[in-house]
Amino acid sequence: MTSESTPLLQEQSAPARHGDDDGQTQGTFARRLGALDGFALLISIVIGSGIFSSPGPVDANVPSPGAALLVWLVGGILAWTGALTMAELGTAFPGEGGIQPYLSHMYGEAFGFLAGWSWIVATMPATLAILSIVFVESIYSSLGINDPSPPITHKLWSLLVLVIISTANSISTKTSTRLGNFFVVVKLLSILLLIVAGLAVVFIFLGNRDKDLGGGDWHSKGWFNARTTLLPDGSRFDWNNVSTWEALGFYSTALYGALWAYSGWDKANYVAAELKKPSSQLPLAINTAIPTIIVCYVAANAVYYILLPWNVVSITDAAAVTAVTHFLGKGVAYFATVLICLVILGSLLGNSFVAGRMTVAAANKNWLPRILGTVGQVGPWKFSRGAGDGDAEEAMDKGESPINAIILSTILSAIYILLGNMRLLLTLNGLSEYFFFFLTVLGAIILRWREPTLHRPVKPLVLIPILFAVISGFVVVRGAIFSPVQAAVLVAIWLVGALYYYGRKWWFKMSHSEELHET
């Protein structure tokens, strides 16, 4: 734990590292993995609960199923170009975690702080809130309840799920990480079964045109024909009366839903830490894993349109459960619901774990109050031997939990659950993430000219980060204009963060000056 007198955002000294045979500095992790291992890791990181819950919000904001599939394709391309750019930064700045160090290097430490602040106060709590809501809506959907305006009891159940998961993470860090491996297997199995169901419907129909086990619309209507969309509030939206500028706003909102499902691509540089030859194996892993994920996501969404009537897709926040219920009936759907709910619980558990560690890391840098960087204690009271003493990361590796940090993320997530809904939170989450992703990738482009001699073991064509910057920049700007409430909430969060950053920095400076004066 850094001392409270350490200047705000001061870089901590790192142990000397020696280059390996790939020109990489030697980090904490042993380099034992190959490209196939990297492929599997990226698959497990990116594929989560979003593919089971995001299709409804995507479909509600596009004029046709074909347009929705194109949105999923564009989201995948954005994730692909972003992952390659993050790989460039991750290998150019080895040992650094997340985008905060990159932003600090590119624009100054205030930007790094604001990215961390935004993740802790907005992105991660919104993520936990979305997952809690989707868990509850999946259960209700299996019972045949797809209420466009769910009652307050749904929110209360979501709060209960959130508290249970936060409590589980507070008990034992090791238990959380061990459960994660089980959930990876469950989610891959769930996607496979979903795709098999869709293929079965298609082949049965091709064999007997009078027998359609799906929703019927998939073979009787045009996939790219504009239709009247049924919205969650029960109203109908006619796409024929929408201007191009308005349509771009809807598409931006739809893309945030797809990007939620692709989230995790920015962790590509974490995989590099354990690859034998990152400069060759990491691009290979990315260029095989991300396209595989894109194919899986587009195929899964096509299955939803095969299994369900198209006016149902737009109103559900639990597409997978709704599709299986419609296809196989409630009996089998209960089993599918259990699998999908396990996937969601796994994502909740993992994201709660990450949110706690993010907060501890920020507190260790004096970005947040020191009490949020303690482990094994609630407030100032210790509950285990050695809790709150020594290095927090070392304590967490031994099984201690950052309870104060988890409590903070739980409170913030609870506020989002009570004040918002899944679709509003998806846009908030997307805006908060992709604003800083845009700045990061734009900075990577600038560094190509500002620091041309910087060692870059992974260096994709400059057109790749440019493509990401153009698409993400437009999506952020148009999305903010189209969703002013979420944009205003984020701007308020960033303003509070900036005031806190400069106020705390001024306080440290004044305290240091008084200490020098006294001596």
Count of domains for the chain: 1
Tell me the β-bridge partners of 237: 229
| Separation of first and last alpha carbons in the chain | 26
Q: Helices marked H in 143-267 — which ranges?
A: 152-171, 173-207, 217-220, 244-262
Report which of residues 118 and 357 the model is more confident about: 118
Backbone angles phi, psi at 34, to 5 degrees: -105, -175
d(CA 141, CA 334): 10
Whether residue 4 is contained in a domain is answered as no
Is 21 contained in some domain? no
pLDDT category of residue 392 using cuts at 50, 70 and 90: low
Amino acid in position 112? G
What single-letter amino acid sits at 275?
Answer: L
Residue at 336 is within a domain: yes
Is 76 inside a domain boundary?
A: yes
Separation of alpha carbons 176 and 168, rounded Å: 7
Choose among 95, 23, 27, 90: nearest CA to 283. 90
- Identity of the residue numbered 456: R
Q: CA-CA distance, 162 to 363, in Å (whole number)?
A: 23
- Provide the sign of the torsion angle of the four alpha carbons 106, 109, 115, 116, taken in this order: positive
Q: Is the pLDDT of residue 211 over 60?
A: yes
Banded pLDDT at 30 (limits 50, 70, 90): very low
Predicted pLDDT of residue 16: 36
Q: What is the pLDDT of residues 467-509, one digit of tens each?
A: 999 999 999 999 999 999 999 999 999 999 999 999 988 887 7
Closest by CA to 36, choosing from 243, 271, 193, is: 271
**The pLDDT value given to residue 12:** 37
Residue 469 lies in a domain: yes
Residue 20: inside a domain: no
What is the average pLDDT score of the chain?
A: 82
For the chain, give the percent of residues with pLDDT over 70.
82
With 60 as the cut, is the pLDDT of residue 368 above it?
yes
- What confidence category does residue 314 fall into, taking pLDDT thresholds of 50, 70 and 90? confident
Is residue 132 in some structural domain?
Answer: yes
Q: Which residues neighbour 231 within 8 Å (Cβ) at sequence distance 6 or greater?
A: 60, 148, 237, 314, 315
Domain that holds residue 375: 35-512
Tokens 């959907």 belong to which residue? 141
15 part of a folded domain: no
Supply the CATH number for residue 327's domain: 1.20.1740.10
